[in-house]
Structures are given as C-alpha cells and as structure tokens.
C-alpha cells in the first residue's frame, strides 16, 4: 500500500528536485520513533499544495520563507489531526521560531503577553542589531499561523549568512510546531523516512548479522540462520575490520549498517579477524533479502511455550504462528500453556496487533479507533476463522492457558494485544502498568520525506482509553532492593504508579486512570557478581530467554490449571502465587536483619511522638564530586509505647537524592535508632544544591513529621585537553614530511592536559571524514594512566592514503574522552595532500644554531601547525633533509620540520640542548564563572557573571556565546573577523528563575570548529519550603 501523497502532478516534478534537509534524526532515533507508533499507511489521494507552490526557487537557493515542508505538514494537521482542540496556533508560532535560537546565534526571541498553554500575544524577533515585533492576537487558525510564520521567516532569512542550511532550519521549526500537539506527530526527513520504511517492512537487503561496537571494534553479535552470512561462515565475536574499501576503525554503527545493507544480489566485500587467526581474512558475500525476526521462542518445562515479541513488524503474526507450530512439534503434542512476553515491545503496525490478538481470540471486539470529533473510525473484531488458517488450527489455542507479560516499555500495538486479551478474560496480565501510548499515526509522503500525524486514538473492547493510561495488569510486580548501595524497599509505594496528570472526575479517562491491579506481588532483586569475562559474554547473549521472577509467576499460572480464562487461572494459581510471595517476604526480612533492622509487625500508635536529628559528614552538607557525604538520621521515640515499622523516604529534584530510604523498624519507647545513607556523586557531576525533604512513616502511613535539608555538590579540579600534531612518512612513504597518495602516514597527536586537575582513563580516537581513498589502520588509543596538569603525551595513529583519494585535504575528527571526569573534546583538523614528487628525504646529520626565531612545523609545509617558535641560539639537530625542508629535533622533547634553507646559522655542534615547550594548536574555549558561587537561592533572580576565552586564529574567524535558561535564550554575543590568538567574551546578567531547578546552558561556538557547552545549575526555593 503506497503512503498517501498530497502533492498534485502539477508540482511533483519541481518538488522531487528540491534539496531536502540533512538528517536530523539519527538512524537509531528513526527506529525508535517508528516502533513506538501505531502506523497506518493512507490510500492514494491528491490535494492542492497549501502555500508552497506559489514560491519559486531563486538562483538555486532554498527559499526559507516559502515554508514548503511546514505548510504542507500543517495542511495535514488541519485535515487529519485527531484532536483539533489541541491545535494552539499562537503557541506553534512561538515554538517554531524559538527552536531556531539554538541554530542561529544572532537570533533572540522574546514573548509578549499571553500564557504558557495557548502561547504569547506577540513576539519580538531580533536578528543581530535588527528587531521586529509580530502581533499574534489574530492568529487563531492554522492558515493564519502559516501566514505569520512566513513573514517572520522572511525577516530572519534576509539576515542569514548565504551559506546557512535553510532546509535544516525549516525541519527544526516544523518539528517544534508539530510537537506542541504530541510527541508522535512529526516530520521525517528523507533519511529518517527511508530508515523507518526499512525497519517496519520486516525485510531488507543485507548479510544477516547483528553487529555492535565492542571495545571500539565493529563486532558480530549474532549470525542469523539461513542467511548469506551464515552460509559464508561468519561467527559471533568476529571483528569486521573493513567493508569494501573502507576501514571500520571508529566508523559509526549506523554507517556500518548502511554500508552492509544494499540491493539484494549485489556483493559486499569485508575483512574479518577472528580469535586465533594470525591475520584478517577476506569474505565476499552476496546480499539477500533478510527477514527481520521479531519473535523469539523457547519450550519451557511442562510443555509451556514461551514467545517474546520484540516489535510488531509487517510479518510478526506469521512469525508468531510459525513459532507456536515449531514449539508444538518440539513437545510432540499440544502446548499446555503459552507465555506471551511483550515487555519492552514498543509497538508497530496496527494490523499486526489485530492479527496477533486474533490468534488467541475467536470472537469479540479487539480494538476500536476514534477520530476527530469522537467519531468511530473503525472497529475490528476477532475472526472465527482467519484467512490463512483452518478451523482446527484456529481452535487449537482457544483452550490453552495464556499469560501476557508487560512493563512500562510495552506500548502501542503491545497494549492493544494485552488490552484485548484482558478484556475478553482470555489471559492473565502480569507485570507493571504499560506505557500508555494509545494513538494511531498516518504517514503522508512529502517529496522524499513524510509527515507523521496522529489521526486517531484507540480504545480497548470495553471502551477504556489506553493513551496516557496504559494497561493495568491483573498481577502487578514490584521489585524491591535491600542492598545498601541501591536501597529501594518502600519508596515505590509512595509514588503514584498511574498517570502524573489526573483527568477530571466522572470522565471515561479518569475511570481508566483509577483502575487498580487485583494484587501486588513484591519480589527481591537478584544481584549477580560477574567478572569482566562474564560481563563480556553477556554482550553475545542475543535473544536468550532468561529466567526471572515474572517468568516464575507466569509459569506458576500456566501450570496450575488448564483454564483458558483469566479468572480460572487466577483462582487455581492462588496457592502457588502465595507461596512465591511468602518466599520473597522471607528473603526481604533476612536482608533487612543483616542491616540490623527489626521489621516485625506490632500495634500501630495513632500519634507517635518522635524527635529527629540530622547529622551530615562532612558538616554543612557539601560534598565534592567523586567523594562521599554521609547523612545520618537519629530518630528518638519519646512516647510511652514501642513503635514498629518506622521509616523515612526522601524526595528531591535530584536523581541522586530522590527516593533515599531511611529504615528504622522497631523503636522501643525512650530509645533511639539511626540510619546512615551514603551519597556519592559521580566524578563528572556538575555543581548544584538541592533540597532533600524527609517524610516519616509508620508501616506506610504518614506520621506528620518532616525534615528538609539542603545537599550541595562542588566540582573538583578537572582536566582539559588540547593538542597539536605532526606527520611522519618515513616508514610508509618518501620521508619528505609531506602527505602524498600511495603513502602510509603516521600521525602523532601531542595531547596535553591544559586543565587544573588530573585526568582519569582517557580514550583518544581519530575519525576519518574523507570517505573513499583513505584507509584508517590504527585510530584508537586508551590510556589508563593519569595525566597530570601540564603533562603532554604523544598518541600515534596510522592511515593509508590511496591513489583514489580525490581531495587536496584530508579531514579528520580528533576526539578525546575522559568518562569519569565528564570531559570531552572534539576537534576537526585538515591535513594537506601534496602532488606526487620524485623528491625523497635523505638521512642527514647536522646541527644548526639559528641567529633568529625559527618556526618548527608539524610537517614539511606551512599548512601544518606551528609546534614551536624556537628562540635564537637554540640548537636544531637535523636528521632528515628534503629539499628546502629538514626534520629537526629540539632538546629532548620536540621533533618537527623547518625551512633549513632560510636559516642564517653557524655550526652549533657543541651548543647545549634546550627544551622548548610545544605550542597547542587545537584547544576548546575556556569558561570561567565568577557568579553564582551558591547554587540555591530564595530570590526570583540570580546573577550570572563570567567570561569565555577562545584560542587560536585562522579559519575560525567568528566566535559566539549564547546563554539559555532551560529552552529560553536570554543573551548572545558575536565577534567576527578575528585575527587575535586569544579572544575574551565577558557576560554579566540577571537571570529570571522558575521555582525548582534551573538549567543554565552556556554555548560557545567557533566557526568551522563546532560548538561546545557547559551547564550551570541554580535551584530556586519553592514558596513554603523551609531548610
């Protein structure tokens, strides 16, 4: 079925030839998006292209103000969107324009009047020094909204640099406007749309392997049965070093997948290294249609069939039936029970959800979809006999007990199946409340891309909405963890398992939100102690069925009775479930006794009298990231009766603090008990202060006692990285210090810690951006040794420049990551490629003593970075001569190239050596914050004061700083035509803060070198809170 198009033939030719936005959604994101949605492909129809056809492409430039993609997307919203009352045109205008502020530095948008829900009454749009006011009061329709957006974009477009990517900007604005409706209504650019089609089709042209990045290497995780890869002899753990002519060193996973996929029948060449081999071996494998397996199955004890659906693709129902038949063959008879595992299944095609439900149902409604105006769009019922099954095959599963496992990751199509089987009393649902994604998306092509619009929502057979509610299981499972590091015993009881935003009382949605499970079963988390080898083996346990508590419950249900109804199974399995629950309670009591907690049951005291004391070590409640803060609560029973099951739970905006539990258990009269929790933020954590509110309970009931403390986190001295680099073609080239085609080059990155703190384990990698003609042989190095401030270490990489390289420069990206400290550097470098020459470097042994300052470069060309400016009188020892250039060493730590023909020298063989500091050619901007020093305020504003220092002149001749509070841009400054080696941009402003945590993002941008950012967190005390 072809996706619906709304582009008439009149505009089709011009539309297809338009340049489209580069991919905003990554391949992985596209997979997530498409699987989390129910999708309906519309029938073919035509309609006029709203607003877009009247504007022409001028001189080949993309006319941003025409808003072709946005206007046609909004046309689909106007005619198809399920809830027209959610369309808020003023808010859509504001969000669309505000979203551009992160991509256009000189753009600053200020709202005027209005409110957060419906949007502002007006916008002040500033581009650099120019500003214009736009009135939004009359914007009440989608057509008016698009018209106003065209005017605003025209103002912005006229002030954008010529090389701005206008397609990208329109894509960003379009999605910002669409996402005000719901997160599933979105525009898919051509790349994302192609990926979605592959992922949902259920088949593609490929080799039949599952791959991942393991310890930096592209590694085979699983080889699928009956595929070209299996026939070729590939195995799990094989390392793929090369795909056709491209090295896989530091290749993105999505790029590797893209290169292996292709037209069926076309071959692909790969080189593979396997453990035990001395060298990699070549494989030439012909691509074939690969059927994506969305079903995993296993026969369990008692002839119970376990089937897991990973998602709902176009062929899922057929795979399910095939797996069930295989399980029956394996057990040599009918199955005695079926466990359908939908945990983590994000959904997929609506039709497949209906067909899967139909496997277990013979009559009754499966799902109904409601479109705009609460009109019935469609109602689907189970078929007495399916189109491709006999009556006998259909009724085989009527009498089989069924248990469905769900969790918070079960969404969309998964919820249709679980809801239908629950509603018809056909299966027992076990697990946790599902995600609550109950809408249907239609996909409509826009040129080579598509817009995905929510066109309907679905109801379960008893007309209960699932969206923002989820399916509530019959038996809810609640995991508790009594381990000291991750204590989670009672806190989960106090957090609402249902939707955060309750609907109005008396509504159908509110009734659905208030549904409760029939029973809640608590179980203790199992902790496994795995060594490094065992953890590594886990990576390759792909599609392995693992025994867990949910599966235990499901097996108890399916083996307790032959009842084919949920009521029958629940009744007959009560004894077995009770036994499992007692076993878990015993494990919990034993675990708590190890911590000295007496959790015995006793009489409740209506008004317990308690006194609290909070002791923090170190005092003051401040902790440095990477170190520990111990919070001890002493609780004294000042009443006349013993208290039982006393505990406290902390709530906070900080994930590190939220849900902290303090367990006291039994406190005898007149006695005290203490509980200590250790707070250890990660070394990479940012400075912040957060309140921790402690509420005290008696056996789950509040006792009216609260305490609030403030915990502060300071950052330690951190490393920062900068580098320079030099090339060496001695062993793989002509030794002339230049890069030519056909040579193998060693690139040495001189990495230096320019920060104030020592580094942890650092990984440095070199990523090729050159494409074909460049083969990266060695591109990753991990150093476990700490690098102290000021210390420099060389990191060497190797690459081959092939004769097919067509460019005059080789672009690379150098990345340095210190995960523990949260420090990351990404810098682009370009290495010049010279024409072939007959000149060769020859060995030489001369010592020069320059009488003026001499520049030493990272190669035999001034296009390489300057490594040092050598002062007069410093000996230069040359060991290689290549025409006018020579490779020289300076002191004991520097090697580089210099123009020896320009040196005015005397022989300096007897001169003492002098060490010279190496210059850093590539370093990130440095931010220094003066204010705030305190990250917890009681006022509605706070001062932000500091400066950003940029380093290095040259190609990056524009520097900019932008400051955001949340998503709100509040300030920017741009410096252009920079020639100075160092540029400082100061800032000093008052920030308006909302109550709670405020995330201040400072973005530092250098033209052609990308963007870096740092975050400052400021907590504004809520009204009524007390420290």
- 44 pLDDT higher than 50: no
- Rounded to the nearest angstrom, the gap between the alpha carbon of residue 63 and the centroid of all alpha carbons in its chain is 32
- 948 pLDDT higher than 90: yes
Provide the β-strand partners of residue 869: 855
Question: How many angstroms separate the CA atoms of 398 and 335, rounded?
Answer: 11
pLDDT band at 508 (very low <50, low <70, confident <90, very high): low
SS3 content of the chain, % helix, strand, coil (to 5): 20, 40, 40
- 52 pLDDT higher than 60: no
- 35 pLDDT higher than 50: no
DSSP structure class, residue 658: T
pLDDT band at 47 (very low <50, low <70, confident <90, very high): very low
Q: What is the mean pLDDT of residues 513-522?
A: 85
HEC-encoded secondary structure of 99-125: HHHHCCCCEEEEEECCECCCECCEEEE
Say whether 807 sits in a helix, a strand or coil.
coil
- 458 pLDDT higher than 70: yes
Question: How many angstroms separate the CA atoms of 323 and 317, rounded?
Answer: 10
**pLDDT at residue 899, rounded to an integer:** 92
CATH number 3.40.190.10 is the correct assignment for the domain at 295-443+452-572 = no
- Rounded to a whole number of angstroms, the CA Rg of the chain reads 33
Which residue shows structure tokens 């092939």?
Answer: 802
Q: What is the mean pLDDT of residues 111-129?
A: 95
**pLDDT at residue 502, rounded to an integer:** 58
pLDDT band at 804 (very low <50, low <70, confident <90, very high): very high
* Nearest Cα residue to 554 out of 682, 694, 404: 404
Are the C-beta atoms of 889 and 728 separated by less than 8 Å?
Answer: no
- 837 pLDDT higher than 70: yes
Question: How many angstroms separate the CA atoms of 525 and 43, rounded?
Answer: 49
Q: What is the mean pLDDT of residues 254-265?
A: 91
- Its pTM stands at 0.82
**pLDDT at residue 48, rounded to an integer:** 27
Kindly report which listed range (573-587, 608-622, 899-913) carries the lowest average pLDDT score.
899-913
CATH assignment of 610-714?
Answer: 2.60.40.10
Are the C-beta atoms of 72 and 174 separated by less than 8 Å?
Answer: no
pLDDT tens profile 666-718: 999 999 999 999 999 999 999 999 999 999 999 888 999 999 999 999 999 99
Higher pLDDT, 24 or 365: 365
Give Cα separations from 520 to 341, 474, 475, 575, 941 (angstroms). 19, 9, 6, 15, 46
Question: How many angstroms separate the CA atoms of 968 and 960, rounded?
Answer: 17
pLDDT band at 551 (very low <50, low <70, confident <90, very high): very high
- 71 pLDDT higher than 50: yes
Strands (E), 769-840: 774-778, 780-783, 792-801, 809-818, 823-832
Max intra-chain CA distance, the chain? 102
Strands (E), 424-527: 428-431, 439-446, 449-459, 475-480, 519-524
CATH number 2.60.40.10 is the correct assignment for the domain at 721-907 = yes
With vertex at residue 688, the alpha carbon angle to CA 686 and CA 690, rounded to the nearest 5 degrees, is 135
Q: Would you kindly state where each structural domain of the chain is located, as residue ranges?
A: 4-196, 204-291, 295-443+452-572, 610-714, 721-907, 926-1020
Question: How many angstroms separate the CA atoms of 281 and 896, rounded?
Answer: 38
- Average pLDDT of the chain, as a whole number: 86
Contacts of 1005 (CB under 8 A, 6+ apart): 105, 959, 960, 961, 962, 1011
Record: fold of 204-291: Pdz3 Domain (2.30.42)
Contacts of 771 (CB under 8 A, 6+ apart): 246
A 10 A CB-CB count for 944 gives: 22
204-291 and 610-714: same fold? no
Question: How many angstroms separate the CA atoms of 1008 and 598, rounded?
Answer: 64
Pick the CATH number of 926-1020 from 3.40.1520.20, 2.60.40.1930, 2.60.40.10, 3.90.1280.20: 2.60.40.10
Kindly report which listed range (1-5, 407-411, 832-836, 978-982) carries the lowest average pLDDT score.
1-5
Higher pLDDT, 45 or 185: 185
**pLDDT at residue 954, rounded to an integer:** 52
Helix (H) or strand (E) holding 94: helix 89-99
Q: What is the mean pLDDT of residues 435-454?
A: 91
With vertex at residue 22, the alpha carbon angle to CA 20 and CA 26, rounded to the nearest 5 degrees, is 135
Q: What is the mean pLDDT of residues 74-101?
A: 95
């Amino acid at each position: 079925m072809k996706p619906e198009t709304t582009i008439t033939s009149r505009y089709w030719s011009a539309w297809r030839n338009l340049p489209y936005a580069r991919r905003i959604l990554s391949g992985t994101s596209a997979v997530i998006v498409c699987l989390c949605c129910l999708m309906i492909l519309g029938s073919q129809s035509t309609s006029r292209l709203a607003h877009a056809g009247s504007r022409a492409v001028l001189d080949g430039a993309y006319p941003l103000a025409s808003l072709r993609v946005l206007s046609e997307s909004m046309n689909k919203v106007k005619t198809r969107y399920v809830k027209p009352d959610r369309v808020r045109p003023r808010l859509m205008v504001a969000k669309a324009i505000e979203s551009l502020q992160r991509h256009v530095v000189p753009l600053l948008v200020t709202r005027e009047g209005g409110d957060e829900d419906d949007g502002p009454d007006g916008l002040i749009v500033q581009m650099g020094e120019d500003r214009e006011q736009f009135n939004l009061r009359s914007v009440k329709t989608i057509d008016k909204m698009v018209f106003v957006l065209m005017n605003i974009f025209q103002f912005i477009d006229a002030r954008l640099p010529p090389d701005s990517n206008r397609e990208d900007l329109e894509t960003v604005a379009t999605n910002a406007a669409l996402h005000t409706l719901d997160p599933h209504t979105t525009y898919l650019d051509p790349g994302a749309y192609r990926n979605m089609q592959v992922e949902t089709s259920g088949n593609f042209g490929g080799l039949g392997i599952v791959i991942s990045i393991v310890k930096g290497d592209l590694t085979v995780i699983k080889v699928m049965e009956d595929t070209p890869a299996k026939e070729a002899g590939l195995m799990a753990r094989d390392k793929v070093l090369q795909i056709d002519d491209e090295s896989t060193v530091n290749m993105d996973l999505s790029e590797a997948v893209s290169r292996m996929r292709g037209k069926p029948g076309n071959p692909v060449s790969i080189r593979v290294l396997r453990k035990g081999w001395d060298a990699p071996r070549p494989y030439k494998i012909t691509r074939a249609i690969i059927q994506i397996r969305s079903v995993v199955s296993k026969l369990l004890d008692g002839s119970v069939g376990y089937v897991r659906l990973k998602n709902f693709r176009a062929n899922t129902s057929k795979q399910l039936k095939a797996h069930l038949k295989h399980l029956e063959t394996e057990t040599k008879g009918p199955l005695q029970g079926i466990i359908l595992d939908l945990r983590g299944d994000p959904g997929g095609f609506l039709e497949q959800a209906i067909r899967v439900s139909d496997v277990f149902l013979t009559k009754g409604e499966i799902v109904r979809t409601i479109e705009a105006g609460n009109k019935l769009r469609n109602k689907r019922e189970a078929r007495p006999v399916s189109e491709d099954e006999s009556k006998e095959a259909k009724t085989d599963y009527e009498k089989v007990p069924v248990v469905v496992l769900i969790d918070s990751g079960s969404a969309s199509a998964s919820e249709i199946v679980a809801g239908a089987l629950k509603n018809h009393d056909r299966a027992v649902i076990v697990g946790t409340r599902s995600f609550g994604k109950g809408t249907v998306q239609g996909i409509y092509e826009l040129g080579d891309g598509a817009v995905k619009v929510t066109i309907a929502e679905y109801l379960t057979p008893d007309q209960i909405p699932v969206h923002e509610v989820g399916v509530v299981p019959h038996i809810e499972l609640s995991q508790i963890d009594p381990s000291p590091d991750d204590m989670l015993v009672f806190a989960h009881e106090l957090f609402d398992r249902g939707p955060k935003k309750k609907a109005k009382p008396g509504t159908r949605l509110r009734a659905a939100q208030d549904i409760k499970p029939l029973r809640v079963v608590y179980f203790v988390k199992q902790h496994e102690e795995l060594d490094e080898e065992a953890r590594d083996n886990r990576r390759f346990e792909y599609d392995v069925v693992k025994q867990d508590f949910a599966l235990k419950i499901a097996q108890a249900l399916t083996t307790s009775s032959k009842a084919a109804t949920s009521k029958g199974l629940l009744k007959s399995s009560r004894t077995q479930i009770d036994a499992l629950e007692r076993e878990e309670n015993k494990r919990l009591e034993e675990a708590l006794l190890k911590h000295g907690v007496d959790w015995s049951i006793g009489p409740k005291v209506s008004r317990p009298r308690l006194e609290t004391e909070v002791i923090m070590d170190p005092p003051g409640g401040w902790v440095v990231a990477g170190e520990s803060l111990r919070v001890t609560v002493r609780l004294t029973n000042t009443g006349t009766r013993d208290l039982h099951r006393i505990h406290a739970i902390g709530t906070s905006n900080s994930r590190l603090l939220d849900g902290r539990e303090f367990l006291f258990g039994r406190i005898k009269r007149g006695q005290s008990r203490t509980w200590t929790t250790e707070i250890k933020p990660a070394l990479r954590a940012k400075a912040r202060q957060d309140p921790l509110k402690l509420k005290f309970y008696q056996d789950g009931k509040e006792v009216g006692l609260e305490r609030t403390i403030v915990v502060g986190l300071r950052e330690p001295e951190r490393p920062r990285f900068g580098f320079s680099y030099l090339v060496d073609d001695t062993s793989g080239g002509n030794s002339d210090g230049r890069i030519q085609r056909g040579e193998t080059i060693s690139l040495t990155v001189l990495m230096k810690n320019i920060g104030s703190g020592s580094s942890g384990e650092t990984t440095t990698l070199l990523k090729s951006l050159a494409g074909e003609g460049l083969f990266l042989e060695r591109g990753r190095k991990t150093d476990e040794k700490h690098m102290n401030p000021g210390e420099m270490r060389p990191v060497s990489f190797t690459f081959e420049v092939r004769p097919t390289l067509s460019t005059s420069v080789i672009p690379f990206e150098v990345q340095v990551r210190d995960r523990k400290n949260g420090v990351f550097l990404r810098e682009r470098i370009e290495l010049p490629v010279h024409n072939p020459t007959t000149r060769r470097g020859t060995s030489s042994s001369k010592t020069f003593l320059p009488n003026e300052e001499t520049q030493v470069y990272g190669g035999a060309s001034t296009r390489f970075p300057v490594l040092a400016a050598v002062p007069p009188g410093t000996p230069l020892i040359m060991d290689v001569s290549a025409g006018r250039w020579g490779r020289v060493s300076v002191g004991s730590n520097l090697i580089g190239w210099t123009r020896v023909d320009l040196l005015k020298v005397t022989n300096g063989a007897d001169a003492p050596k002098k060490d010279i500091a190496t210059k850093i050619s590539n370093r990130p901007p440095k931010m220094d914050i003066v204010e705030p020093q305190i990250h917890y305020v009681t006022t509605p504003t706070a001062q932000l004061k500091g400066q950003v220092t940029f380093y290095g002149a040259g190609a990056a001749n524009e520097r900019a700083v932008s400051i955001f509070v949340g998503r709100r841009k509040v300030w920017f400054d741009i410096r252009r035509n920079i020639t100075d080696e160092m540029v400082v941009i100061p800032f000093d402003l008052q920030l308006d803060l909302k109550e709670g945590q405020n995330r201040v993002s400072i973005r530092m941008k250098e033209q052609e070198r990308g963007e870096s950012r740092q975050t400052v967190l400021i907590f504004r005390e809520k009204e009524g809170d007390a420290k």
